[in-house]
């Protein structure tokens, strides 16, 4: 694939004609609006590896030939032809299926990425499917721009330029009466322009409610009457898809949004970057990227992958939220059990935050909704129990043996609504903080000081991991401190007690901001806890603390990220670790994949020179914090695990090490497969030479 960079769209239109002479398999266009949107998308930022500078337009030109030499020759000649015509400035050649898929992923994300433009102006459909012969395209687009310029409109341009089909989506506010009228005007004038150039108003899609109104004009009245006769003959009662092709109402009817101002809702999270909670929800444009399957890959959306129900998709949930919050006739629009029920099976995995091109963060929407819903209806007992787990663990430690015994009984689990098949996490003999207070020499060897966040799960339930992390860091030459802080707030966020989580976030930022910096980072073991500093905190803390929260987030790392970075800088010597061969299969944590990356974990695990790591292509493990423990969710939780993760673990050789950074993931793997999964830090610690 040759990815030709251009200084203007007009250059790209002419460049398309040059490229077509070389018989490519495909040519796709992206404009600078979409390319700029990819900078803000977690998933697509990784796919910008081939972009140089800030081109105004790009052509992605794909070739398939028998030999690499033929491809190289075509690419060389194509670049020469572009330069001879004075078109473009950079023409990288991308080779290999994996890299080409990344380029296509960037292009196909275009529709969803457009929803990241803040405010009520959206890239609207209606003229996005026009097509004219490629040789007419430069002149057609020149007249097209004149029409939009007449009305002071801008437009996004992308897609199938090889066949003269460019998706054209003007930016309009369909909540504004004037823009709704303009919507119809633009549609009519562009239809006239398309007909002038003997093109099609529906180049690859259907007409339907969007363009059905213009069928009589595009096909002529006589042909339209023939279609009407056909419809009346075969469907005299007008049962099948009425109003889609014949007798189609104007496009200004049945619009999704209500005219007038967007309902402003007071929230605990700060949605100001999206111009409010409702506009954040409206970023979902219905592209359906959330309707993934195991065959497609990815993590979004786990409950849909099992049930195949539309209301289990991010799109379905966003539609329900938008509909009720914008059209509710109740005094409090959050007072709707229907929304509560639809959000129940959102497991807050955060996959949509990364994989949805529009970055729709349904986990955050769910937490915000639940906060309001519970203020009306009260907090259920089990919800309160799970949210306040850190406090309960602290009290339970006073009589640890009895606490572990009681929580291990079926009677207790049934009483609180947990599945009796589950084994609840036990309290460690010593908390991490209790161990750390002991007089053990922990000073490093001059490589600097780091701070370890003693999260609520590691501190109380898996203190052995925290101890190994400290000993590992110390062995590698780092002084480790555990600063004063409160819990991360993850349990409260997961159950919708956002105001309580906000108080904790405020305290942590106030306590940690003065300590943490580039040379003294804050490190974490449990992804869901430490990544709250990077994900939720900047949008959760008081406005006066926002800048501090953002600064703190930049120096907050998973331990995996820190060690991988230090190794790459040459600060960690591989000779400190065993040379024995080990094979590791890694299951990444959902929030790690959404907010950070599993790449540092893989690099860290391969610091021992004979350790080989492969990542299991799994989405969510199915446990999702407390979700899989809850009795009514247990069966679905297991089915999610059976999609990819459980079979992959069972098929792994007995000597293969299973790695999983998430505490709930390790519990799910143990109960679903009988295999013990280790935290990556644990694996690296055990790899140290004595």
Question: What tens digit of pLDDT does each residue of 579-602 get?
Answer: 999 999 999 999 999 999 999 999
Instruction: Please give the Cα distance from 356 to 360 (Å, whole number).
Output: 6
Q: Name the residue among 407, 461, 404 with its Cα closest to residue 430.
A: 461
pLDDT of residue 440: 56
| Residue 441 banded pLDDT, cuts 50, 70, 90 | low
pLDDT of 296:
84
Question: d(Cα 156, Cα 107) in Å, to the nearest integer?
Answer: 13
In the chain, what is the straight-line distance between the N-terminal and C-terminal CA atoms, in Å?
Answer: 50
Q: For residue 136, what is the DSSP state? A: G
At residue 557, φ and ψ (nearest 5 deg) are -130, 150
Rg (CA), the chain: 28
Average pLDDT over residues 284-292: 87
Cβ atoms of residues 160 and 166 within 8 Å: yes
Give the pLDDT confidence of 630-663 residue by residue, as tens digits: 999 999 999 999 999 999 999 999 999 999 999 9
Q: What residues pair up with 323 in beta bridges, in sequence order?
A: none
Residues of the chain above pLDDT 90, percent = 82
Instruction: For residue 258, give both structure tokens.
Output: 């209500």
Half-sphere exposure of 224 (CA within 13 A, CB side): 14
* Contact present, 485 and 450 (Cβ < 8 Å): no
Give the residue-averaged pLDDT of 535-539.
97
pLDDT tens digits along 209-230: 889 999 999 999 999 999 999 9
Q: Residue 287 CA to chain centroid, in angstroms?
A: 14
259 pLDDT tier (thresholds 50, 70, 90): confident
Nearest to 672 by CA among 419, 309, 312: 419
Collapsing DSSP to helix, strand or coil, 393 comes out as helix
Yes or no: say if 389 and 351 are a contact pair by the CB < 8 Å rule: no
pLDDT score, position 442: 53
Q: At what angle do helices 498-512 and 362-377 cross, to 10 degrees?
A: 120
HEC-encoded secondary structure of 405-429: HHHCCHHHHHHCCECCCCCCCCCCC
Tell whether the model's pLDDT for residue 439 goes beyond 50: no
Position 444 pLDDT exceeds 60: no
pLDDT value of position 285: 81
467-491, pLDDT tens digit by residue?
Answer: 999 999 999 999 999 999 999 999 9
**How much is the pLDDT for 567?**
96
Closest CA to 34 of 83, 87, 107: 107
| Alpha helix ranges (H) inside 314-437 | 314-327, 337-343, 351-355, 362-377, 381-387, 389-396, 400-407, 410-415, 432-436
Residue 577 DSSP code = B
Contact 141, 311 (CB under 8 A): no
> Is the preceding omega at residue 301 within 30 degrees of 0, hence cis?
yes
Judged against a pLDDT cut of 70, whether residue 619 lies above it is answered with yes
Q: Domains (ranges, CATH) in the chain?
A: 2-196 (3.30.70.2190), 272-378 (no CATH), 432-564 (1.20.1050), 573-686 (3.40.50)
What gap in Å lies between CA 523 and CA 661, rounded to an integer? 14
For residue 611, the tally of other CB atoms under 10 A from its CB is 22
Q: What is the DSSP string of 229-248?
A: HHHHHH-TT--SSTTSSSSP
The CA distance from 623 to 627, in Å, is: 6
CA distances to 229, 352, 590, 603 from 600, in Å: 64, 21, 15, 5
- Residue 165's DSSP bridge partners are 131
Mean pLDDT over residues 365-394, rounded?
96
Measure the CA–CA gap between 268 and 502, rounded to whole angstroms. Answer: 8
Choose among 296, 575, 426: nearest CA to 304: 296
Q: What is the mean pLDDT of the chain?
A: 93
Q: Residue 496: pLDDT above 50?
A: yes
Q: What mean pLDDT is predicted for residues 73-78? A: 97
Is 237 buried (19+), middle (13-18) or exposed (0-12) by CB count in 10 A? exposed
- CA–CA dist 257, 173 (Å, integer): 10
Question: φ and ψ at 425, to 5 degrees?
Answer: -60, 135
The Cα–Cα gap between 543 and 548 comes to 10
How far is it, in rounded angstroms, from Cα 576 to Cα 289? Answer: 45
DSSP secondary structure string, 648-665?
Answer: HHHHS-TTSEEE-S-HHH
Task: List the structure tokens of 249.
Answer: 């109402």
Q: Are 348 and 363 in contact (CB under 8 A)?
A: yes
Per the document, the length of the chain is 690
Tokens of 362: 């349904």
Residue 385 burial (CB count, 10 A):
17
Q: How confident is the model at residue 119 (pLDDT cuts 50, 70, 90)?
A: confident
Q: What average pLDDT score do residues 238-257 get?
A: 89
- CA 496 – CA 478 distance, rounded (Å): 37
Q: What is the pLDDT of residue 443?
A: 53
In whole angstroms, give the CA distance from residue 493 to residue 539.
Answer: 13
Strand partners, 5: 58, 90
């Amino acid at each position: 694939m040759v990815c030709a960079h251009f200084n203007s769209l007009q250059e790209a239109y002419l460049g398309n004609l040059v490229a077509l002479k070389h018989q490519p398999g495909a040519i796709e266009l992206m404009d600078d609006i979409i390319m700029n949107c990819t900078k803000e998308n977690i998933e697509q930022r990784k796919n910008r590896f081939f972009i140089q500078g800030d081109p105004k337009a790009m052509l992605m030109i794909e070739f398939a030939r028998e030999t690499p030499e033929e491809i190289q020759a075509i690419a060389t000649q194509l670049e020469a032809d572009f330069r001879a015509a004075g078109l473009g400035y950079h023409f990288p050649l991308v080779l290999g299926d994996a890299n080409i898929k990344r380029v296509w992923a960037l292009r196909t994300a275009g529709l969803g990425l457009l929803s990241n433009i803040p405010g009520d102006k959206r890239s609207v459909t209606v003229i996005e499917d026009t097509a004219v012969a490629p040789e007419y395209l430069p002149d057609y687009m020149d007249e097209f721009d004149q029409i939009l310029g007449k009305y002071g409109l801008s437009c996004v341009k992308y897609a199938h330029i090889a066949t003269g089909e460019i998706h054209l989506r003007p930016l309009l506010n369909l909540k504004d009466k004037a823009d709704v009228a303009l919507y119809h005007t633009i549609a009519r004038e562009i239809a006239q322009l398309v007909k002038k150039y003997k093109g099609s108003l529906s180049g690859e899609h259907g007409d339907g409610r969007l363009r059905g109104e213009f069928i009589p004009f595009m096909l002529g009245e006589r042909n339209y009457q023939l279609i009407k006769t056909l419809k009346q003959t075969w469907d005299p009662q007008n049962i099948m898809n009425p109003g889609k092709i014949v007798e189609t109402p104007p496009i200004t009817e049945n619009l999704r949004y209500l005219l007038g101002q967007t309902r402003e809702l007071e929230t605990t999270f700060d949605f100001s970057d999206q111009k409010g909670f409702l506009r954040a929800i409206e970023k979902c444009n219905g592209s359906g990227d959330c309707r993934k399957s195991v065959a497609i890959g990815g993590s979004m959306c786990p409950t849909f992958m099992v049930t195949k129900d539309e209301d289990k998709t991010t799109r379905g949930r966003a539609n329900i939220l938008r509909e009720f919050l914008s059209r509710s006739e109740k005094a409090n629009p959050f007072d709707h059990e229907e929304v509560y029920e639809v959000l129940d099976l959102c497991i807050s995995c955060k996959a949509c935050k990364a994989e949805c091109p529009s970055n729709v963060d349904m986990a955050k929407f769910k937490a915000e909704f639940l906060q309001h819903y519970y203020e009306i209806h009260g907090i259920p007992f089990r919800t309160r129990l799970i949210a306040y787990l850190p406090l309960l663990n602290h009290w339970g430690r006073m009589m640890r043996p009895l606490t572990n015994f009681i929580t291990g009984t079926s009677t207790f689990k049934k009483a609180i609504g947990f599945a009796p098949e589950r084994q609840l996490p036990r309290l460690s003999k010593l908390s991490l903080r209790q161990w750390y207070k002991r007089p053990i020499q922990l000073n490093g060897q001059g490589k600097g000081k780091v701070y370890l966040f003693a999260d609520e799960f590691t501190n109380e339930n898996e203190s052995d991991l925290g101890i190994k992390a400290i000993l590992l860091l110390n062995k590698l030459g780092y002084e480790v401190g555990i600063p004063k802080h409160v819990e991360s707030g993850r349990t409260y966020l997961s159950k919708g007690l956002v105001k309580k989580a906000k108080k904790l976030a405020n305290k942590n930022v106030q306590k940690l901001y003065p300590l943490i910096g580039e040379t003294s980072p804050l490190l974490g073991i449990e992804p869901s806890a430490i990544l709250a500093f990077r994900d939720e905190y900047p949008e959760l803390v008081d406005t006066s603390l926002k800048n501090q929260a953002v600064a703190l987030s930049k120096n907050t790392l998973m331990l995996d990220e820190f060690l991988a970075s230090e190794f790459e800088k040459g600060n960690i010597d591989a000779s400190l670790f065993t040379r024995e061969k080990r094979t590791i299969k890694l299951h990444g944590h959902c929030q790690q994949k959404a907010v950070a990356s599993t790449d540092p974990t893989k690099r860290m695990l391969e610091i021992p020179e004979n350790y080989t790591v492969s990542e299991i292509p799994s989405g969510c493990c199915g446990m999702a914090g407390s979700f899989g423990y809850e009795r009514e969710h247990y069966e679905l939780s297991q089915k999610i695990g059976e999609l990819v993760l459980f079979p992959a673990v069972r098929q792994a050789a007995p000597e293969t090490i299973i790695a999983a950074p998430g505490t709930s993931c390790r519990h799910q793997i143990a109960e679903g497969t009988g295999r013990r999964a280790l935290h990556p830090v644990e694996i690296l610690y055990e790899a140290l030479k004595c």
